[in-house]
Structure 1
Amino acid sequence: MQHSYILKRLGLMALTILCATFLTFVMLRLTPGDPADLILKKVFVGSEEYVGSQDERSVMEERYGLNQPLFVQYGRWLGQAATLDFGHSYTSGQRVSQELGLRVWPTLSLAFSAMAVSLAVTLLLGALYNLAPFRGVKTAINLSIVGSIAIPNFYLALLLVLMFSLRLDLLPVSGYGTLAHYILPVATLACTYFGYTTTILNDSATQVRSQEYILTARSKGLAPAPLFSRHMLRNSLVPVVPYAALQLGYMLGGVVVVETVFSWPGVGKYLVDSLQSKDMPVIQACIAFIALAFSGANLLADLVLWLMDPRVRFTRS
């Protein structure tokens, strides 16, 4: 891959993050409620019912630079964010970077675990779909794919909680720290996403099956199982792996609902709590993290595709 292409992708990644954070910054300033009044209530007084005077609000605006033009405020925030300084939370008074850092690992561990389970299910269903001699097996796999794509993750999460936590009392409803706490959130995310990758794998395998080298191997009497594992699977995975890398970005950015349902102490739950309390520095930091994760996943998908498919390297060179 040419260096110019990598630089171009990095530039687009930076532009995406800038646009996401700037739009968030503008929308937060346009929402009802004076930021100076929020700071006064949450940070200095600690009471939502306190009504500050105009002089007190003016002091807050001067102290936090809220009386400056919007672009100046964003530029100052961006410069601080480049050094991982996102300010202090209005609610807790703690540094946002410290609180966010404590929540990054729970989100990453949840997303990567769900991705691993989703890919394992994809490989299993893909092998069964291409090797099973019975039509009923393919029908069952297609139904599971439709269910995976059609059922919303919040609805599936509630069903799993109702069945395994409230009815059977086998798994905890919420919390973090043990393997048992991972099972329901990971299952929810994995079940939501495996349908897409399985569909891509099966479609790719259908195209690979018609290639001449596959027909030649089959004419020589090679059994279906070694034919699939030795010759078909590798080439069938070429479109799956980049999409899985892209899907990881969706997971990192889309765990908000799952983390909220299971009270998972991750970035998504942190974002929801900050939206409810209008904690602007926390909202900005969480959006920046999600934009970085999604843009990084896009870049990773491109790099993986370039490594796996020589045709892409030839085309882009």
Structure 2
Amino acid sequence: MLRYICKRMVFLLLVMLGVSFLAFSMSHLTPGDPAEVILRMDSIDPTPEAVALMRERMGLNDPVLVQYGKWLLKAVQGDLGVSFRTRRSVLEELLQRLPATVELTLAGTVVLLLVSIPLGLLSAFYKNTKIDHFSRFFALIGASLPSFWLGLIFIYFFAVKYSLFPVMGRGSMLHLVLPGLTLGLGMSATYARLLRASMLEVLGQDFIQVARARGLKEKTILIGHALKNALLPLVTIFGMSLGHLLGGTVIVETIFAWPGIGKYLVDSIFTRDYPVVQGYVLLMALIFVTVNLMVDISYTFIDPRMRLSGKGESK
């Protein structure tokens, strides 16, 4: 197991290096001069002399590879640079807003699990019934609706028309309802469909028939035996979906004015704030690869066969 983790860590370091280079390069390919943007924000006339002086001060006159090398050396030490817009440390700005994004991601995850698991189980257990047809229809609709459109629908009905929930900002638990539903419902439809397919496959295996022959209750078979084996492919998908949940917060936070790093990223893109964009991509990549490593390790706890296989290889 330790050898496997070490191999994965080396691979993840290479991934992080590639992501950092792409993030740095792509941000510098965007049109517009950040020096000119900063001067306009400070109410300074962006004359050629002023722009040249600002570019020199910001280090934008160096070759891209030199800029990348300097930035990467600082990033390894935990310094993601200083925001062009706020003049504050990018890492501090991101960490200050990260709890709001994590809170929204957890709310979306709760919605995802509360909707997808019961719906997937019922759909598999009552195959080809009205419940199954409803679940499949829900999965089709949920996978087809864009999150921003779903969020606008929620705002219109539950905030504007009926005034049931607040629509902007972060505060009480009520502020989490609409953003959490927007973030989690779309993916819960996909998970319900995946869980249904996985459960149907497991329910057709021999050990389920043996359990039924022993006289076990269907509820015990469904929850105690089938569900645990059906969760393995879903754990794999969840590791990748967490990245989509975190990425999806960019749209949801913008729609609901949620003060997280997603909204901060959008504001920074409009002002050509390169350090913030690069820091955001690097932080999200670090979270994504870490979660995927944890998902891989969790396989050994979900499926004992993989644990035994790992022991055999280590010998």
TM-score clears 0.5: yes
- CA deviation after TM superposition for structure 1 residue 112, in Å: 1.8
Conserved in 2, the CA contact under 8 Å of 1:20 and 1:288?
yes
Please state if 1:142 is matched with 2:141.
no
Question: Which of 218, 223, 238 matches 1:224?
Answer: 218
Please state if 1:213 is matched with 2:207.
yes
Q: What is the aligned partner in structure 1 of residue 113 from structure 2? A: 119
Mapping 1:131-280, distance limit 5 Å: 131-132=125-126, 135-280=129-274
The one-letter code of the counterpart of 1:260 is T
Greater CA drift, 92-101 or 141-150: 92-101
The one-letter code of the counterpart of 2:21 is F
Please state if 1:51 is matched with 2:59.
no
- Distance, in Å, in 1 between the alignment partners of 2:189 and 2:268 is 32
Q: Percent identity?
A: 37
Stretches of structure 2 lacking an aligned partner (at least 5 in a row): none
* Residues 53-79 of structure 1 deviation map (CA, whole Å, 9 limit, x = unaligned): 33x444434433323222121111112
Stretches of structure 1 lacking an aligned partner (at least 5 in a row): none
Q: What is the aligned partner in structure 1 of residue 68 from structure 2? A: 74
- CA deviation after TM superposition for structure 1 residue 266, in Å: 0.8
Greater CA drift, 236-245 or 274-283: 236-245
TM-score, normalised to structure 2, is: 0.91
Q: What is the aligned partner in structure 2 of residue 106 from structure 1? A: 100
- Distance, in Å, in 1 between the alignment partners of 2:128 and 2:58 is 68
- Distance, in Å, in 1 between the alignment partners of 2:63 and 2:127 is 68
TM-score, normalised to structure 1, is: 0.90
Greater CA drift, 167-176 or 119-128: 119-128
- Distance, in Å, in 1 between the alignment partners of 2:8 and 2:176 is 34
The one-letter code of the counterpart of 1:211 is Q
Conserved in 2, the CA contact under 8 Å of 1:40 and 1:52?
no
Pick closer, same or farther for the CA change 1:258–1:312 going to 2, 3 Å.
same
- CA deviation after TM superposition for structure 1 residue 179, in Å: 0.2
**Aligned CA-pair RMSD:** 2.1
- Distance, in Å, in 2 between the alignment partners of 1:33 and 1:131 is 57
- CA deviation after TM superposition for structure 1 residue 303, in Å: 1.8
- CA deviation after TM superposition for structure 1 residue 164, in Å: 0.2
Q: What is the aligned partner in structure 2 of residue 20 from structure 1? A: 19
Greater CA drift, 161-170 or 28-37: 28-37
- Distance, in Å, in 2 between the alignment partners of 1:310 and 1:32 is 53
Question: Which of 270, 282, 285 matches 2:279?
Answer: 285
- Distance, in Å, in 1 between the alignment partners of 2:7 and 2:224 is 37
Count of aligned residue pairs for this structure pair = 311
The one-letter code of the counterpart of 1:187 is L
Pick closer, same or farther for the CA change 1:87–1:39 going to 2, 3 Å.
farther
Q: What is the aligned partner in structure 2 of residue 85 from structure 1? A: 79
The one-letter code of the counterpart of 1:111 is T
- CA deviation after TM superposition for structure 1 residue 8, in Å: 2.6
